[in-house]
Structure 1
Amino acid sequence: MQRKGSALSGMSTIAWKEAADHFSSARFHFVMLLVLLTAFGGVYGAIGEIKNTIGQDPFLFLRLLTTSKQPVPSFVAFLGFMLPLVSIALAFDGINGEYGRRTMSRILSQPIYRDALLFGKFVGGMIVLTISLLTLWLLVTGLGILTLGLPPSGEEIARGLCFLVACLAYAGVWLALSLFLSTVFRQAATSALAALALWLVFSIFWGMIAHALTAALAPIDPTDPMTLVNAVEWQTGLARLSPNTLFSETASALLNPQTRSLGLVFINQLEGAIPGAPLPFSQSALLVWPQLSGMVAAMLLIFTAAYVTFQRQEVRA
């Protein structure tokens, strides 16, 4: 039997309602307050470190995001750590919460398809993330102008906006994962714990796991230098299965123009390169394109899994 009308009819209504609910929820307020405090702590520490280099560094505003002052990590490090938590908080009860409140059958009894419901919840979360990250980026830029007394250059703005897109892709991966877990588990607490467990694995333990797998899959022969190259490539590839690694590499290339490679580099590949010379923005964008594409692909793949799982579930009154 063919469905009548568009499967996504009503998606925008659900998306804006979800966004409004998130913005008015105490849970979101608490998480965003934590993000703001930690982020501004990182920026404040960076300002104290880079004030002495005003007039010497052409990318002063980018240093605001990457410079750390012990024991406070950099702004980028805070984002890499906190963005998954924000995404998990937005979607861990997106679907099973409707089942728990017994409102799922009531929603689907309206002239709306499941497609629109799931897409609306995901788009609503992305709207919240977009507004929050854009606001945070503007606040950091304004704070930098006030304290340093210099406006950002055009290339710094372009790199900052591209980094903002990378943040959205990174947060979108965790939002899709959290939404997927909320379709798999009927209890919100279970889906939240599963999402937090995966976050801990990718944030803390994945480097050790990648190293152990590399030692097993690509052992190093001391008499053969190519086995060392093979092991490094294996470890790099396994590490890039983590969205955290993809995000950190993207941030490194975009916010540090001196970065020329994100993998293994041989001496003959550096022929003609000027040491310390910054790459133009277009070349840095080409450098991070695989990482950015990987995060977007992971987001779409996980959301597709959530879509298939939700479509096959039985909804009872």
Structure 2
Amino acid sequence: MRSWRFGILIGIIALACIGSIYAAVTALKDGVKTQDTDTSFLFLQMFTASDGTLPAFSTFVSFLGPLMGIALGFDAINSERGKGTLSRLLSQPIYRDDFIRAKFTASLLLIAVVLFALGLLVMGLGLFTIGYPPTPEEVLRVVLFLLVGVIYVGFWLNLSMLLSIRFRQAATSALSGIALWIFFSVFYGMIASMIDKATMPPETSALDILLRHADRMLLLNRLSPAYLFSETTGTLLTPGIRSLGPLTTEQVVGAIASPLPLGQSLLLCWPQLVGLLAATMICFGLSYALFMRQEVRSRS
């Protein structure tokens, strides 16, 4: 926590979040319409609203959160190996699995403290600026959003630790992690859009063909952890979202335009949350298995 790397990274994320708070407050004061048309959840719009100059708070967490996970994990193992301290640690009465679990748990707790501190900062500034207290459901939705953010950043932490175990050079693991982050954050959506345009059936096609194409493209987009995170947080912070997939006219006609309760929103985004948890556990399992199979030699 006292390193220059962590301080610079936290400073960048904190400045970005303060900027998003200012954009949200400006949007709410100017009466900008947001995705949630129900004014009973005005406090949640502090995390989703924007005046167009800066992204919303949830967007900043989605974009800059992986950087924090990569920064904490890209040299978690290979730096110990390069300094020669890994063999000294494991020569003590410390098991290998305890070592890698401690590396992951300590970094994950640090991520949780940072995200919850920033989230509570947004809530506190929201109370001062808009003068609108949150309801208990809004507080629960914000807490769940922050927990999902911890899981999402934990995925990138596990991925960077896996690269730290796989590559002996810290620079190689850092560049690999940043390349994957840029790919999923920027280029994956472009590639999915290109595939969508190339495989789009004619507009005169049957409804079932169009629905199958929409489902396939939705499945392709959901292979990205950033897309899963955006769907999960959008459902939690915007109670007016009632579906995450394509809907037919028969399904829309007669539907009551009202926000979903918290339990129904959780059921709606539960598959996306399970997908994020599964990806995180898979990365940790691969890191665990690879580290346990590696040979650790002492440096002369």
TM category (shorter chain) comes to over 0.9
- Structure 2 Cα separation of the partners of residues 221 and 77 of structure 1: 34
Cα gap change, 1:142 to 1:313, in 2 (>3 Å): same
1:214 deviates by 5.0
| The one of 125, 133, 155 aligned to 2:107 | 125
Is residue 219–residue 227 contact of structure 1 (8 Å, CA) maintained in 2?
Answer: no
- Structure 1 Cα separation of the partners of residues 196 and 259 of structure 2: 33
| The one of 25, 36, 41 aligned to 2:19 | 41
1:287 is the counterpart of 2:268: yes
- Structure 2 Cα separation of the partners of residues 219 and 311 of structure 1: 47
- Structure 2 Cα separation of the partners of residues 115 and 164 of structure 1: 28
1:209 deviates by 2.1
Partner in structure 2 of residue 134 of structure 1: 116
| The one of 145, 164, 175 aligned to 1:193 | 175
1:213 deviates by 4.4
Partner in structure 2 of residue 100 of structure 1: 82
1:49-95 CA-to-partner distances (Å, cap 9, x unmatched) read: 112559x8211111111111222111111111000000000110001
Q: Which amino acid aligns with 1:65?
A: F
- Structure 2 Cα separation of the partners of residues 183 and 163 of structure 1: 30
Alignment of 1:58-77 (within 5 A): 58-77=40-59
Is residue 246–residue 295 contact of structure 1 (8 Å, CA) maintained in 2?
Answer: yes
Alignment of 1:25-36 (within 5 A): 25-36=3-14
Cα gap change, 1:196 to 1:272, in 2 (>3 Å): same
1:208 deviates by 2.1
Alignment of 1:135-154 (within 5 A): 135-154=117-136
- Structure 2 Cα separation of the partners of residues 222 and 289 of structure 1: 32
1:129-156 CA-to-partner distances (Å, cap 9, x unmatched) read: 1111111111111100111122111111
1:272 deviates by 3.9
Partner in structure 1 of residue 277 of structure 2: 296
Is residue 215–residue 231 contact of structure 1 (8 Å, CA) maintained in 2?
Answer: no
1:31-57 CA-to-partner distances (Å, cap 9, x unmatched) read: 011001001101111101112559x82
- Structure 2 Cα separation of the partners of residues 172 and 266 of structure 1: 36
- Structure 2 Cα separation of the partners of residues 61 and 223 of structure 1: 44
TM-score (norm 2): 0.93
| The one of 61, 64, 70 aligned to 1:88 | 70
- Structure 2 Cα separation of the partners of residues 236 and 156 of structure 1: 28
1:192-223 CA-to-partner distances (Å, cap 9, x unmatched) read: 0000000000000111222344567x562555
1:224 is the counterpart of 2:222: no
Query: SS at the partner of 1:61?
Result: coil
Partner in structure 2 of residue 314 of structure 1: 295
1:243-283 CA-to-partner distances (Å, cap 9, x unmatched) read: 100011111111111100111112222354213x1111111
Percent identical residues: 45
Q: Which amino acid aligns with 1:24?
A: R
Query: SS at the partner of 2:163?
Result: helix
Q: How many residue pairs get matched?
A: 292
Q: Gaps spanning 5+ residues in structure 1: where?
A: 1-22
1:158 deviates by 1.0
Cα gap change, 1:47 to 1:222, in 2 (>3 Å): closer
Q: Gaps spanning 5+ residues in structure 2: where?
A: 33-37
- Structure 2 Cα separation of the partners of residues 238 and 91 of structure 1: 28
TM-score (norm 1): 0.88
Is residue 177–residue 195 contact of structure 1 (8 Å, CA) maintained in 2?
Answer: yes
Partner in structure 1 of residue 35 of structure 2: none
After TM superposition, the structure 1 stretch with the greater mean CA deviation from structure 2, 44-53 or 162-171, is: 44-53
